[in-house]
Amino acid sequence: MARNTTRFFCTDCGHEELRWLGQCPACQAWNTFAEMKVAPAVGASKGARGYSAAAKRPVGFGGQASAGGPPAGAAPQPVPLAKVQSAATRRLPVEPAEVARVLGGGLVEGSVVLLGGEPGVGKSTLLTGLALWWVRQGIRVVYLAGEESPAQIRMRAERLGFRPDREPGFLILPEVHLETILGALDEATLAAASGSGVAAGPPPATIVIADSIQTLHSDEVDAYPGSPTQIRYCGGVLADFARRSGWPVFLVGHVTKTGDLAGPKLLEHMVDTVLYFEGSGGGAIRMVRAVKNRFGTTGELAVMEMRGEGLVPVDQAGLMFLSGRRGVEPGAAVCAVKNGSRTFLVEVQALVSPARYGTPQRVVQGVDSKRVALLAAILEKRGGLDLAGCDIFVKVAGGGRVDDPGADLAVVVALASSLRERPVPEGTLVLGEVGLTGEVRGVSELEARLREAAGHGFTRVVLAAVAGRRPRGVKGIEQVPATSVEEAVALAFEPGHPAGGRRAREATP
Ligand code: TYD
Ligand code: MG
């Protein structure tokens, strides 16, 4: 092996430098550089094709192999796009339906899914639960156990309803050495392990779960397991394996709050789907979010609850982020946000009080804190409220997180409601993006949002006045258009506001 050399990597984004830097030039994060040993010869031998190990290795991948490409050693030739066969994406079924939806309707064959999340959030529980369902459908699952012993995995599986006589296709491979793993992932070995004959019909579909990618290591790179170099290399080889074999691969990656060992970030570009698994404010609610999906839409959200018997989808997930005390207390405003194909009613809560000590505090949970600072400034400048000397606390009820700009107006109204000690009347929804000049802008998919709100007893919505075009009415919900933040705030509190009454009559067909 060639002379070792050291490099510095940003643990957040994987950016590589020859020397240590305080701030990453790529992602601007501070104090994220870590020193790693790398073996330059291996990196050089990879060439432009990338990962060498899987390419060099005799291909023993079973299943629906579809390697394609030039034979080893031949120079690759450009091919007209018209001559390329378009592959129909075949999807393996996934249960529960919550998770299937986040994956875009099923698990695409040969795809690589990265499941990131903090330790203890329930990644292994989710994947073990999915695996149990798959093996009952006759799909074989190989669980690469890097973090836990087979006995621990068995205990978890038993908790989730594992029945030894029904699930022979659940295979555990307690191995962290990448080359050994690749050697074992072949049809004959797996068929022998699961006790089924090799020749008996077509081989079953197989899903590989690597729990976790941080524990794997390869001889091809000279770095510690869990280091950016190992994570990138092992992730790349397994991604390559998935594409050649047609076997979907799950890569579990831990993310910590401080961002160190942020392996998943290094892998995002080489996988097909990135799911992030989040808890909510220490409770039992867990959310799986697709942040990248080559085979579906992003922004989809699955809401589940961690119970004694595993993760269970939540009934009425659309109401998860309401406190259940609408319209009673000041400092709360409800909006309807889109997460992929789903609509959620979300209650934004604010507490505004005069700052007693020094610099006023701004504490924000579940909404981008810069956005809240911006909205507070707009409210101050355009809405005529004095927030400068106040502590501001903002959060989303139920531990939710909102990225939808349509929630801007709810933040603004919640702040105003807390400052003025006036509750927003029950049944009122506020919906709109707020611009720097204090204008209220429309939201996408308005009708779907209004239907969801009307379905849960909301009767009135303050929203953007759309010039020249009347929004389509939704039965049971009165639309109260507002052009400015000031007007919207006034209308949110006062059903009888003169502007509100006039506009509402105009807008309702
Ligand atoms: P785990 O899947 O091990 O987390 P991760 O793989 O993300 O590190 O799950 C961790 C927590 O979930 C653990 O504290 C126990 C809890 N749990 C339940 O509440 N119910 C269950 O059925 C299972 C299996 C785990
Ligand atoms: Mg785990």
Q: Is the CB of 312 under 6 A from ligand 1?
A: no
- Report whether residue 326 contacts ligand 1, using a CB cutoff of 6 Å: no
* Same domain assignment for residues 96 and 171: yes
Residue 128's pLDDT band (boundaries 50, 70, 90)?
very high
Mutation pick for ligand 1 pocket among 115, 254, 306, 311 (CB with most ligand atoms within 8 Å): 306
117 Cβ closer than 6 Å to some ligand 1 atom: yes
Does residue 86 belong to any structural domain of this protein? no
Q: Are residues 1 and 25 in the same domain?
A: yes
pLDDT at 99: 93
What is the C-alpha to C-alpha distance for residues 201 and 22, in angstroms, rounded to an integer? 58
- Cβ of 11: how many Cβ atoms within 10 Å? 24
At residue 434, what is the residue type?
V
Give percent of the chain above pLDDT 70: 83
Both 208 and 355 in one domain: the answer is: no
Q: Tell me whether strands 285-293 and 273-279 are parallel, antiparallel or unpaired.
A: antiparallel
Q: Is the CB of 421 under 6 A from ligand 1?
A: no
Band of residue 417 on the pLDDT scale cut at 50, 70, 90: very high
**Euclidean distance between CA atoms 17 and 33, whole angstroms:** 9
- Claim to verify: residue 289 and residue 394 sit in the same structural domain: no
| pLDDT category of residue 53 using cuts at 50, 70 and 90 | very low
Closest-lying ligand 1 atom to the alpha carbon of residue 284: 19
Report the run of H or E that residue 478 belongs to, with start and end: strand 478-482
Residue 308 has pLDDT above 60, yes or no: yes
| Neighbour-count burial for 15-24, b at 16+ CB within 10 Å, e otherwise | bbeeeeeeeb
The token pair at 151 is 């006995």
Two structure tokens written together for 191:
């068929």
**Res. 107 pLDDT band, cuts 50 70 90:** very high
pLDDT at 282 over 90: no
Q: Examine residue 212 and say whether the peptide bond preceding it is cis (omega within 30 degrees of 0).
A: yes
Same domain, 307 and 341: no
pLDDT at position 119 is: 87
Q: Which tens digits make up the pLDDT trace of 233-262?
A: 999 999 999 999 999 999 999 886 654 445
Q: Which ligand is nearest to the CA of 122?
A: 1
Distance 254 CA to ligand 2 centre (A): 9
Domain of residue 215, CATH code: 3.40.50.300
Most confident of 27-31, 106-110, 255-259, 306-310: 106-110
**CA–CA separation, 351 vs 349, rounded Å?**
7
If you average pLDDT over every residue of the chain, what do you get? 83
Question: Which atom of ligand 1 lies closest to the CA of 211?
Answer: 6
Q: Is 492 exposed, middle or buried (0-12, 13-18, 19+ CB in 10 A)?
A: buried
Per-residue confidence at 470, pLDDT binned at 50, 70, 90? Answer: low
325 and 309 within one domain: no
**Between 400 and 211, whose confidence is greater?**
211
**Is the Cβ–Cβ distance between 237 and 258 less than 8 Å?**
no
pTM of the model: 0.76
| Residue bearing the CA closest to ligand 1, atom 16 | 122
Rounded to the nearest angstrom, the distance between the alpha carbon of 211 and the centre of ligand 2 is 7
Are 285 and 279 a contacting pair, CB within 8 Å? yes
280 confidence band (pLDDT: 50, 70, 90): low
The predicted structure's pLDDT at residue 94: 94
In a domain, 57, yes or no: no
Atom of ligand 1 minimally distant from the CA of 160? 22
Beta sheet of 140-145, edge-to-edge order: 170-173, 140-145, 206-211, 249-254, 112-117, 273-279, 285-293, 301-307, 310-313
Q: Classify residue 128 by its DSSP letter.
A: H
Residue where one domain finishes, among candidates 313, 343, 378: 313
Does some domain include residue 147?
yes
pLDDT confidence bin for 496, thresholds 50/70/90: low
What is the domain count for the chain?
3
Share of the chain above pLDDT 90, in %: 44
CA distance 179 to 152: 24
| Across 379-390, average pLDDT | 89
For residue 212, give the 3-state DSSP assignment. coil
Go through 90-121 and write b for each residue having 16 or more CB atoms within 10 A of its CB, e for each that does not.
ebbebebebbbbbbbebbbbbbbbbbbbeeeb
> From the CA of 248, how far away is ligand 2's center (Å)?
19
Pairing of strands 301-307, 206-211: unpaired
Among the listed residues 223, 164, 174, the one whose alpha carbon sits nearest the alpha carbon of residue 194: 164
Same domain, 230 and 215: yes
Ligand 1 atom at shortest distance from the alpha carbon of 126: 2
440 contacts 464 by C-beta, under 8 angstroms: yes
CATH of the domain at 485: 3.30.230.10
- Are 177 and 251 in the same domain? yes
What tens digit of pLDDT does each residue of 309-367 get?
A: 889 888 777 777 887 665 568 999 999 998 878 889 999 999 999 988 888 999 999 89
Question: Looking at the domain assignment, is residue 105 inside a domain?
Answer: yes
Q: Point out the domain boundary residue: 313, 338, 371.
A: 313
Is ligand 1 within 6 A of the CB of residue 156?
yes
User: 65 in a domain, yes or no?
Assistant: no
Structure confidence at residue 301 (pLDDT):
86
- 364 and 465 assigned to the same domain: yes
Structural domain contains residue 143: yes
* Residue-level pLDDT at 460: 94
Asked which of 278, 313, 348 is the last residue of a domain, the reply is 313
Residue 17 has pLDDT above 90, yes or no: no
DSSP-assigned letters across all residues of 332-401: EEEEEEEETTEEEEEEEEEEEEE--SSSPPEEEESS-HHHHHHHHHHHHHHS----TTEEEEEEEGGG--
Return the pLDDT at 67: 42
- Considering the domain architecture, whether residues 220 and 283 belong to the same structural domain is answered as yes
Q: Do residues 169 and 251 both lie within one domain?
A: yes
Are the beta carbons of 272 and 288 closer than 8 angstroms?
no
**454 has a pLDDT exceeding 70:** yes
**Is residue 81 assigned to a domain?**
no
**What would the mean pLDDT of 382-387 be, rounded to a whole number?**
87
The band of 193, judged by pLDDT with boundaries at 50, 70 and 90, is: confident
Name, of 43-47, 259-263, 349-353, 501-505, the range with top average pLDDT: 349-353
Q: Report pLDDT for 58.
A: 35
Give residue 460's domain range.
320-507
At residue 485, does pLDDT exceed 80? yes
> Is residue 73 included in any domain, yes or no?
no
Q: Say how many C-beta atoms besides its own lie within 10 A of residue 171's C-beta.
A: 19
Q: What pLDDT band is residue 504 in, cutting at 50, 70 and 90? A: very low
Torsions phi, psi for 354 (to 5 deg) = -60, 135
Q: Is the peptide bond before 150 cis (omega within 30 degrees of 0)?
A: no
- One domain for residues 309 and 324: no
